[in-house]
Amino acid sequence: MKQHLLRRVRMRLAPALALSVLVTAGCSGAGDGASPSDVSSATIGMPSKLLSLDMDTSLDAFGQAVMKLVGGRLYEMADGKPVPALAQQSSVSPDGLTWTFTLANGATFSDGTPVKASDVVASFERSMNNPSQVNPNLFAPMASVKAPSDNTVVVKLKSPRPNLPVILTYAQFPVLPAQHLGEPDFFRKPISAGPYVIDQTGADKTKLSVNPRYTGPAPTVRNLDLTVVPDANSALVQVQSGQLDVAWGVPANLINVIPANLLAVAPRYGFDAIMLNTASGPLSEVGVRRAIWDAADRKQISDLAWGGKIPPLAGAWPENVPGYDPGISTATDLAAAKKALAGTSCAAGCAIKLIYSTQLSAQQEQVATALRQDLQKIGITLTAEKVDATEWNDDYNKGSFEMLVVTTYDFGPVNDNLMVLPLPLNSKVYDSYPGMNQALSDAAGETGAKRDDALRKIDATIRANVPWIPLTGTGVVSATKVSPKQIGFIDGGAISVGRADGSVR
């Protein structure tokens, strides 16, 4: 049976407060009860320092935000859908393994040199072969990238990926000039072919201006100043006073203190969930895991963690990716939970330890608090321990935990990154579920009814075996005074900018 490629790669986790740009179909606020302003320049508060602009080696949220705006890519996300950018057109072979891209006529880098297919090859091959690659799952499906001519790129895949145009919109796929890629200081101020160029860059402040050589629709905001404001409360004050136009990536636990006319909550392509160590202890028993699933009050968790702005979730797929089933009940069922516990080691009560980290996602504390109350109702004593991000990651990677709160997401409206759970805890968990590996492969490589059937199979298998427990969707919280037609958060919470053609990208 064909093994799903994503099974052997790193899981996408939410970084500390600096929520990674990614990954949407909708946001609320930024104008509820007020008229947001139109601007020609904007100052955006970022929650953490700029660490790196090299997307191969860094999960830095600030860096991803910059490269999303500076990097020229084969495709861009416009109003939530992939549209051609540097790729004027594309075609795919009948077996889905060979994609051919024709580059747009006249495309140039910001320094005036033409964009050639050899630049695409150099950029992709660097990422594919980089031993320090932090997003190996994105490049694992690629077998080779060739340039048969100056304006033609041929990408061969190891297995079909119908979602490739969506994936190529990610910040991790910038086309960079081959002649400069090897320069040691290139990523201090990289050259690309995106809508903006870098005028100034530093750990605490980066200034961008419109790229006059950009071939796509021009941004309506000509200048962007991204500046670090690490204290979220200070950032909110600065938005209200006019020092900032936007405070991006505000901790979710501050939703209820942000004025309604400033609040923007953008769903990510992912969820908040509970990871379970099914290898030993009480959580090796499916009855105990099922009881926790049924006892979780997802509505309360949504209210506590997200102010009710991000919906409860009790299936494998969030509502903004394929496979979501609105018919799955998110209601608490204590009677079913107690019935599931009968005959287990927790039938007469037991104790389980949960770890969480607010450095990874601020809302994890509210999730932990709600779960402790929920499980007490069925006789399970939950000890919740807050740890720093380093300890959380160590415990996760070593499998040295019973339960932990996790936030995971993809960079676009696809399922790929969400299918890597429960790695790296136990890579054989899914192997023990009949048909699961084939379903994972079909979900990633098929389209239409076959893909939909695979997504339903995965969902049903997760709900039957409970290797992990979805609780709510997840998102990005911002405070903004700018019209969402100029600075929006539609692409999974990413900073997106209005364009001359009326789109937001």
pLDDT value at position 12? 45
Return the pLDDT at 176. 98
Q: Residue 424: pLDDT above 70?
A: no
Pairing, β 205-210 against β 28-29? unpaired
State the amino acid at position 2 in one-letter form. Answer: K
CATH 3.10.105.10 fits 268-475, yes or no: yes
In this predicted structure, the answer to whether residue 288 has a pLDDT above a threshold of 50 is: yes
Average pLDDT over residues 118-125: 98
Give the pLDDT confidence score for residue 308 in this predicted structure.
Answer: 97
Give the pLDDT band (50/70/90) at residue 421.
Answer: low
3-state secondary structure of 352: strand
Q: Model-level pTM?
A: 0.89
Q: DSSP characters for 201-213?
A: --SSEEEEEE-TT
User: Residue 137: which pLDDT band, with cuts at 50, 70 and 90?
Assistant: confident
Nearest to 191 by CA among 177, 201, 178: 177
% of the chain exceeding 70 in pLDDT? 91
Q: Give domain limits for the chain.
A: 54-194, 268-475
* Measured distance CA(89)–CA(99) in Å, rounded: 11
| Helices 436-445 and 448-465, packing angle to 10 deg | 140
The proportion of the chain whose per-residue pLDDT surpasses 90, expressed as a percent, equals 81
Q: What DSSP line would sit under 432-501, residue for residue?
A: GSTTHHHHHHHHHH--HHHHHHHHHHHHHHHHHH-SEEEEEEEEEEEEE-B-TTTEE-TTTT--EEBBTT
Residue 399's pLDDT band, with cuts at 50, 70 and 90, is confident
| Buried/exposed 174-213: b ≥16 CB within 10 Å, e otherwise | bbbbbebbeeeeebeebbbbbbbbbeebeeeebbbbbbeb
Of the candidate CATH numbers 3.50.50.100, 3.40.250.10, 1.10.3720.10, 3.90.76.10, the domain formed by 54-194 belongs to 3.90.76.10
Residues in the chain: 505
Residue type, 208: L
